[in-house]
Amino acid sequence: MIHEIEEHFKKEYPREGCGVIALVKGKKTWFPCTNIAEDDKDFIVSHKEYLDIRKKYDIIAIVHSHVDQSNEPSEHDINSCNALGIPYHIYSYPSMDLNILEPKKNFYPLIGREYDFGVKDCFEAMRDWLSQEGIHIPPREPFEEGFYEKQLNYFSEDYIKNWNHKKVEGAPQKNDVLIFQLESEVPNHCGVYIGDESFFHHALYRLSCRESLYPFWIKYLVGIYRHEA
């Protein structure tokens, strides 16, 4: 498998190469993926390819190269690894020295977080708030930045049912997940209802906070989802 990975990195050079390792019939198997990042010194695994693999197999590692540099994880590597809950295998290329980064629990404060897409954003804020309430949402798939501009729907009913949540009608109750659609063709924001017509969320370019649903946010509410105990 190491030779297949190296060949993929060679083909991608000078861009970072990336892919995943998944279990196929109990055996580790390498799946090269398209790096859709704009910067050659960065990587973003194609979301479509990732989901296609994950639908069939269990992904046990995300792999990428550090081109002409050490395999020490960047801050973004560490944060993304923690957010996804999957080990990162980081190779220095061309030496192919391997560094395995294991995910750790994030301890970012709930209130007042700085926004960082894919690491500290609306999904992670929602997930961490519910965790403290004893409701556990599975780690995210890797969201593509600007997903709503590409009309990728990460907040569909089919997606949310994997959280063991069901869409409900009527007034929200405490700890219901709220889904919003702001100036987009697809839902693009989420939060948690906390009572008294207020919810907790983390909006783009803002700090995470508690905020009233009225008069602004209620206009964009498109779904209320409740945990099925």
Nearest CA to 228 out of 168, 183, 181 is that of 168
DSSP helix/strand/coil, 99: strand
Could you tell me if 133 and 204 lie in one domain? yes
Q: What is the pLDDT of residue 11?
A: 96
Tens of pLDDT, residues 139-175:
887 788 888 888 889 999 988 998 999 999 999 999 9
> Which residues make Cβ contacts (< 8 Å) with residue 169, sequence separation at least 6?
224
Is 86 a domain residue? yes
Q: What is the pTM of this model?
A: 0.61
User: Residue 99: beta bridge partners?
Assistant: 90
Which residue shows structure tokens 């501009």?
149
Predicted pLDDT of residue 105: 66
Which regions of the chain are under pLDDT 50?
A: none
Task: Note the helical H segments in the chain.
Answer: 2-12, 47-56, 75-84, 122-132, 157-160
Q: 142 preceded by cis ω (within 30°)?
A: no
Indicate whether 96 and 128 sit together in one domain. no
Q: What is the CATH number of the domain that holds 62?
A: 3.40.140.10
Question: What does the pLDDT look like over 194-206, one tens digit per residue?
Answer: 998 999 999 998 8
pLDDT at 32: 97
Which are the contacts of 83, defined by CB distance < 8 A and separation ≥ 6?
106, 118, 119, 124, 139, 140
Let me know whether 81 and 140 are in one domain. no
pLDDT of residue 12: 95
Would you state the pLDDT for residue 30?
A: 97
**Domain extent at residue 220:** 122-227
| CATH number of 194's domain | 3.90.1720.10
Asked, for residue 108, whether it belongs to a domain, the answer is no
28 assigned to some structural domain: yes
Q: Is residue 113 part of a domain?
A: no
What's the number of domains the chain is made of? 2
